[in-house]
Structure 1
Amino acid sequence: MTATADSQRIKQFLEKRLLLGRPLTTELTAILLVYFVQGILGLARLAVSFFLKDDLGLTPAAVAALTGVASLPWTIKPLFGFLSDGLPIFGYRRRPYLILSGLTGTAAWLVLATLAHTAWLAIAMLLLSSLSVAVSDVIVDSLVVERARQESQGEAGTLQSLSWGAAAVGGLLTAYLGGLLLEHTSTRVVFAVTAIFPLIISVVAWLIAEEPVQEKSNVQSVWHQVKQLKTAFSQRAIWMPALFLFLWQSTPSADSAFFFFTTNDLGFAPEFLGRVRLVTSLAALIGIAIFQRFLKTVPFRTIFAWSTVLACLGGMTTLILVTHTNRSLGIDDQWFSLGDSAILTVMGQIAFMPVLVLSARLCPKGVEATLFALLMSISNLA
């Protein structure tokens, strides 16, 4: 009796403090675990950068081009949403796709750990691993959208906050570990360890509550999905926010060049870069907490306006590090990098949370995965 009462108290504590008032169900656990695994897969992020730079000897331009190719699945996410919404497998629209995505991810990382000795094979496997995460992301996003539609105004964004919080926790647990492993092992060992985690997605997929659909995978069903999507996207309330997302995210990125700069010019070691990722993971959690606690009732237009202004100012701080102005101010390169990354991540996470909530609200029933994926792909493409 006492054990039962204690377990009930623990459950109530988890629901109130960690789950933001949502009941702890098997399905919610499965959904959060998928996001958690997406965060954990960041374990290999540094290893991939060092693998392309040092093991394969690629230039910054080549790394930027090939990683751009590897990220293509994130720009065609609507296709995966379309397949999930319109082409059920064995009568189910979500579960089979999650299982297949997990198996695909594990296979890709195992090949990277053992057989990838050329740039083209490496990029092909990175493309496959990216495809795996993108598909699972589309499916779990659609599950969140379907359930977020039932939230009241006061609860708006709670499920999105939990989902991104789970991903941030996963990233937090492996952020420093990724750099530390590179200090003591090889990139291929990191890839082999990473291969374990996508299997979790395949396992928890069986915990998703899903009713079998009656329609079969036929031309009529697919065409019906196309018409629903066309109708939804012809509405001004949908295409205007989509246009804003595209313009807002259309800023050039120098990630590959900046990685070469920090490792070659500044001499940042893998262990320190792991510390930077640890700080940014913590900062992402702080950003989510700030939005959930103080900003979820603030009009999104206000948040977007201030975020745009602050992002313009914050984005220029990188020039301080590149020009070594921080040294003339008496600020060490590493300390400046840590502080700058933390501040920019908090700002970015606060700005992105309304995007998720707004996108979920815009999705009509029947094309949840497709339309939400389309809105996210617009952001990724930009």
Structure 2
Amino acid sequence: MVLSFPGSTKLKEFLTEKILFGNEPSPELIAILLVYFVQGILGLARLAVSFFLKDDLGLTPAQVSALMGIAALPWMVKPLFGFISDGLPLFGYRRRPYLILSGLLGAGAWMALATVVDTAWAATVAIALSSLSVAFSDVIVDSLVVERARHEAAKDAGSLQSLSWGASALGGLITAYFSGFLLEHFSNQTVFGITATFPLIVSIVAWLISESQVERTQDWQTVRHQVSQLRQAITQKSIWLPTAFLFLWQATPTADSAFFFFTTNELGFQPEFLGRVRLVTSVASLLGVWLFQRFFRTLPFRTLFGWTTCVSTLLGMTALLLVTHTNRAIGIDDYWFSLGDSLILTVMGQIAYMPILVLAARLCPPGVEATLFALLMSVTNLAGLLSYEFGALLTHWLGVTETNFDRLWLLVLITNLSTLLPLPFLGWLPSGQASDVTAPELSSLTLPASPATTLETELSAVAAEKELITELQQ
């Protein structure tokens, strides 16, 4: 028996059109959004990790940058997680069990940080395991998003990506201020213990995923078939050229670790204020998602990347005013300057990053959605790792330490100018906009006959099951 309440239809229409960007509310959509939401909530421990490495373990800026690069390694092998998810189901399911396991792994990693970790190497392992937890769950939920995005109309291209990343930004927004507030009153280990509860949400909502059970628990033939599909897909010029550009765009060195030491050791920013900065950047991320969805979604990729790169580089140079204390000379307080700078740069960065997600989703051919999307994303993550390692080398070469910031201005200058290096390769991107990148570009692929249990067959069954469930609910 289905109960109907006055105004429920209007409420559903409001949620669908205004809140969910045209996506019908469903238990699976709730599960998808909650997984992304948890990814944002895990930012609660971001400041605690930074202070733990800096103060409790006594690491230098270069060491912290190198360690964070190593801890990001799980994001480099996301295609492996895609292969495992697509071809090696657990207990007859490809998605749900892996989400449950990833949540349990994340909870265990954060509890280890809260209790037994007291060396740099142990911290690296624990942080890497927590990263593995998020990376694996990200592959699973990304595959669900890609499957749904395939059925989007051209006018709705990118709506689910925008909604998903909006959920992540909302999670970050809720915990942003508290990441610093808690550190003012509790130890780093206490914050880690609180954070350990959030990955369990992923394990719980995994049961909301609508998934058909497959007959075989292991199917290496499917994996071999997917490797063949993946090999043929990545040899397409329309895929590897944009991927190469995204790699160059993300691989430029960063000064983030050195800048954190400067703001805490030189400027004396306390955890509570740094939490406020994170709050501002979380709001800015949401604003960036909304601006992309409202104004920039229809712009050609080349135009959008070109302008956002140039503007972000120009605005990034304003950090020179802070590291040289010039802002004080012109009457701008360090705190207000940092807040304004973080706000503007985050908005620009989010607008520039959204097309990456849309482009990657539109490039994925049927049969290897999780694997190819994970591969495209892992390329940008590998570039991010190189960005941290290049930044660590520059920080070391320039002699920037936890107390010596004399040449930090040069580090900021070099890292900002390096972001302009990919601009000569803008021609590698598609000339059109997101809705122009569709299956016809990949339809010329000659793929081998699919075995009966390929993901493509499974998706048809899952889609039919979803339609049946929807009809029963109505």
For the residues of structure 2 that align with 1:99 and 1:289, how far apart are their CA atoms? 31
Deviation at 1:13, TM superposition (A): 2.2
Give the match for residue 280 of structure 1.
281
Larger radius of gyration: 2
For the residues of structure 1 that align with 2:171 and 2:219, how far apart are their CA atoms? 38
What are structure 1's unaligned runs of at least 5 residues? none
Do 2:33 and 2:167's aligned partners in 1 also have CA atoms closer than 8 Å?
Answer: yes
Instruction: Tell me if 1:230 matches 2:231.
Output: yes
3-state SS of 1:44 partner? helix
3-state SS of 1:76 partner? helix
Alignment of 1:200-239 (within 5 A): 200-239=201-240
Instruction: Tell me if 1:265 matches 2:273.
Output: no
Task: Give, as a single letter, the amino acid of the residue that structure 2 aligns with 1:335.
Answer: W
Give the match for residue 123 of structure 1.
124
Mean Cα deviation higher: 121-130 or 269-278: 121-130
Give the match for residue 102 of structure 2.
101
Do 2:106 and 2:134's aligned partners in 1 also have CA atoms closer than 8 Å?
Answer: yes
For the residues of structure 1 that align with 2:326 and 2:371, how far apart are their CA atoms? 46
Instruction: Tell me if 1:359 matches 2:360.
Output: yes
- Percent sequence identity is 69
Deviation at 1:2, TM superposition (A): 11
Do 1:279 and 1:341's aligned partners in 2 also have CA atoms closer than 8 Å?
Answer: yes
Aligned-residue Cα RMSD (Å) equals: 1.5
Give the match for residue 154 of structure 1.
155
What are structure 2's unaligned runs of at least 5 residues? 384-474
Deviation at 1:151, TM superposition (A): 0.6
Give the match for residue 138 of structure 1.
139
For the residues of structure 2 that align with 1:237 and 1:227, how far apart are their CA atoms? 18
Cα deviation digits, residues 67-94 of structure 1 (max 9, x gap): 2111111122111112112222122211
For the residues of structure 1 that align with 2:365 and 2:197, how far apart are their CA atoms? 36
Alignment of 1:157-168 (within 5 A): 157-168=158-169
Task: Give, as a single letter, the amino acid of the residue that structure 2 aligns with 1:353.
Answer: M
Cα deviation digits, residues 146-181 of structure 1 (max 9, x gap): 100111111000000000000000000000001000
For the residues of structure 1 that align with 2:201 and 2:351, how far apart are their CA atoms? 29
Give the match for residue 312 of structure 1.
313
For the residues of structure 2 that align with 1:215 and 1:157, how far apart are their CA atoms? 34
Do 2:361 and 2:373's aligned partners in 1 also have CA atoms closer than 8 Å?
Answer: yes
Cα deviation digits, residues 74-130 of structure 1 (max 9, x gap): 122111112112222122211111111000000111111111122221221111000
Give the match for residue 58 of structure 1.
59
Task: Give, as a single letter, the amino acid of the residue that structure 1 aligns with 2:279.
Answer: L
Deviation at 1:215, TM superposition (A): 4.9
For the residues of structure 2 that align with 1:13 and 1:293, how far apart are their CA atoms? 17
Give the match for residue 291 of structure 1.
292
Task: Give, as a single letter, the amino acid of the residue that structure 2 aligns with 1:142.
Answer: S
TM-score (normalizing by structure 2): 0.78
Task: Give, as a single letter, the amino acid of the residue that structure 2 aligns with 1:286.
Answer: L
Deviation at 1:61, TM superposition (A): 1.9
Task: Give, as a single letter, the amino acid of the residue that structure 2 aligns with 1:357.
Answer: V
Do 1:36 and 1:170's aligned partners in 2 also have CA atoms closer than 8 Å?
Answer: yes
Do 1:80 and 1:135's aligned partners in 2 also have CA atoms closer than 8 Å?
Answer: yes
For the residues of structure 2 that align with 1:250 and 1:207, how far apart are their CA atoms? 37
Aligned length: 382
Cα deviation digits, residues 209-237 of structure 1 (max 9, x gap): 11223454243222111111101101011
Do 1:165 and 1:285's aligned partners in 2 also have CA atoms closer than 8 Å?
Answer: yes
Mean Cα deviation higher: 273-282 or 204-213: 204-213
Give the match for residue 26 of structure 2.
25
Task: Give, as a single letter, the amino acid of the residue that structure 2 aligns with 1:38.
Answer: Q
Do 1:81 and 1:139's aligned partners in 2 also have CA atoms closer than 8 Å?
Answer: yes
Task: Give, as a single letter, the amino acid of the residue that structure 2 aligns with 1:93.
Answer: R
Cα deviation digits, residues 331-379 of structure 1 (max 9, x gap): 1111111111111110011011111111000001111111111111111
3-state SS of 1:347 partner? helix
Give the match for residue 378 of structure 1.
379
